[in-house]
Amino acid sequence: MAFGRLPQARVRLYHRGMGHPLSINHRIVEGLYCDALVLSDEVRHAFALHAAHGADGAGHALAPQFEDQDTRAAMSAEGLRTTTRMMQAVAWLLNHRAHFMGEISAFQLKRYGRLSPDLRRPDSAQVALLAPEVQILVLATMRFYDRLLRLDRTWRLAHSPAPGAVAALRERLERRLAC
C-alpha cells in the first residue's frame, strides 16, 4: 500500500442514548490530530515561559506571577500533568492514523492504542494558583482528552467481540445453578 493512500476503513459507532451514528474515520482523526498539535504547542509555550523564567529570573512579562513558591510548584506540577495528557492524546491519535493508513491492524490498534482513563486530573487548588490563561489551557486539555476517551470507549464497545462458546456455556450453567 502506498504511503498516504487511505484504505476505505470506516468504523460505525453509536452514541448511547442519542441513536445517531457516530463514525470515526481518517478525516476525524486528522482533524483531531491537528487540534492536538496546536493545543500541544500552546501547552509547550505556556509552560516553557515558566521554565525560562525559573532558569534566568529576568525579563519576562509574567515575572510577578512566579514570585510565590506555591505558584511555582503548582505551575510545575500542572505543567507535567498537562504535557503528559497531551502526549497520551497525540500517541492515541498517531496510532489511529497508522491504522487508517494500513500500517497497523485493528487488533494492534485495540491492543496498543489505548488511552488511560486513570490519568490524574488537575488539582483544583493548584490550578487556582495559575494565571487565568494557563487555567483555561489546562481545562482545554482536559476537555480534549475527555473527548478522546469517549471516542475510544465507544470504538472499543463497537469492536468488542461477541462472547465465545465457553463464555456462553458458563453463562447458561450459572443461570441453571442459580435457580
Domain ranges of the chain: 11-178
Our CA dihedral for 128, 53, 72, 86, rounded to 10 degrees, sits at: 60
- Alpha-carbon distance of 107 to 92, in angstroms, equals 15
Tens place of pLDDT per residue across the chain (179 aa): 333 333 333 333 434 444 444 568 899 999 999 999 999 999 999 988 665 555 444 444 444 555 688 888 999 999 999 999 999 999 999 999 999 999 999 889 988 888 888 887 888 899 999 999 999 999 999 999 999 999 998 888 776 666 677 877 888 888 888 76
Q: pTM surpassing 0.75?
A: no
Burial-class residue 113 by CB neighbours within 10 Å (0-12, 13-18, 19+).
buried
Q: The CATH number of 11-178 is which of 3.40.640.10, 1.10.8.930, 3.40.830.10, 3.30.10.20? A: 1.10.8.930
